Each structure stands twice: as C-alpha cells, then as structure tokens.
Amino acid sequence: MGHKLVIKNKKSCQFNLTNLYQEASGTGIFFYAVAVISSANGYISTNDIFLGDRIVPQNIRITNGEAAVNYATRKYNDPMTADPSVGVTKYLKMVNGELVEG
C-alpha cells in the first residue's frame, strides 16, 4: 500500500509511517499518511494526514525525526484526468502523539 519506515524521534519513541489509500465509489483514489506507534499494549494508529486525490506516491525520507513524503500531483488548473506531473514534498512529524505537518 505504500512505503513503510521506522522512525525514532528524540525521545526514542518508535513509530511507523506509511501511505494509505481509499478508493471511493467514484473515480477518486484518496491518499493519506498515517503513523502507527508501538506501545506496551500493541500498536496505536495516529490521525491521518490527507495527501491528495489520484497522486503518485514516490518515497518517504526521514531526517532528524521529520518525515518528508514525496509524491507527484497535478498543476492547479489541470483536470483530474491529467497525469500527475508536479513534484510535492509534505513534511510531517510527531508532536504529543499526533502526526502534524511542519
């Protein structure tokens, strides 16, 4: 379903970050980034971050506890039928157990 990486932040809290997608009844395929934290009681998923509709995921890169999620999307005025051609990087990190942008 996507790229899966193990990240260690400054507090050595371990979590996985992956891309998930949802196919709706229409033509959209909606992509999200979700973190899954390892805890004493198993795994706990965090909130999701919406990445886009019918994007092309590239990779996830981790540097100093921050994830850079790279994907291709369309230009602002392109129809949804156009192939994604614009590279985008969305930066994500864990703050107080929540996945946030920035």
DSSP, residue by residue, 32-87: EEEEEEEETTEEEEEEEEEEEES-EEEEEEEETTEEEEEEEE--TT--TTSPP-EE
Q: What is the pLDDT of residues 3-42, one digit of tens each?
A: 343 443 334 344 556 666 677 667 788 888 888 777 778 7
Q: Tell me the pTM.
A: 0.74
**Which pLDDT belongs to residue 15?**
52
pLDDT higher than threshold 50 for residue 56 = yes
CA–CA separation, 81 and 74 (whole Å): 9
**Which pLDDT belongs to residue 88?**
96
**Which pLDDT belongs to residue 47?**
87
**Which pLDDT belongs to residue 75?**
95
Q: What is the pLDDT of residues 76-91, one digit of tens each?
A: 999 999 999 999 999 9
